[in-house]
Amino acid sequence: MQRLFAPLLLVGLVPLAEPARATGLMTCESGPPSTWQPQATLERRLTAEGWQVRRIKVDGGCYEVYAIDPQGRRVEAYFHPVSLDHLRSFTR
């Protein structure tokens, strides 16, 4: 009976040993972070365009923005950290 549980225990622990990963919604080939524009620059630009920025974080090498867009929709939007190009938005 113990022989059966040992492999099952190892299989159960494997997910705990994996590193944290991006959500997989978007990835960017963005190069080293030293070449990225500051998040504050993106936030100022979006605010000037009518966005209500709630949070900006890095995900998959992109800037991931949680905000209310100018049309009043709650969105999760992705921007390239070097060019600050808007890549994609998902309505939340």
pLDDT, tens digit (0-9, with 9 covering 90-100), for 32-47: 999 999 999 999 999 9
Q: Is residue 63 part of a domain?
A: yes
- Here the CATH number for the domain that contains residue 72 is 3.10.450
Tell me which of 9-13, 59-63, 77-81 is least confident. 9-13
Please check whether residue 8 lies inside any domain of the structure. Answer: no
For residue 10, the model assigns a pLDDT of 45
Q: How many domains does the chain have?
A: 1
pLDDT-derived band at 23 (thresholds 50, 70, 90) equals low
| Chain-centre distance for alpha carbon 45 | 19
For residue 57, is it within any domain? yes
Q: 28 is written with which tokens? A: 């960017």
Position 6 in a domain: no
Range of the domain at 33: 22-91
- Whether 59 maps to a domain, the answer reads yes
Band of the pLDDT at 14, cuts 50, 70, 90?
A: very low
Instruction: Decide if 29 is inside a domain.
Output: yes
Length of the chain (residues) = 92
State the chain's mean pLDDT as an integer: 83
Which is it for strands 74-79 and 86-91: parallel, antiparallel or unpaired?
Answer: antiparallel
Residue 7 falls inside a structural domain: no
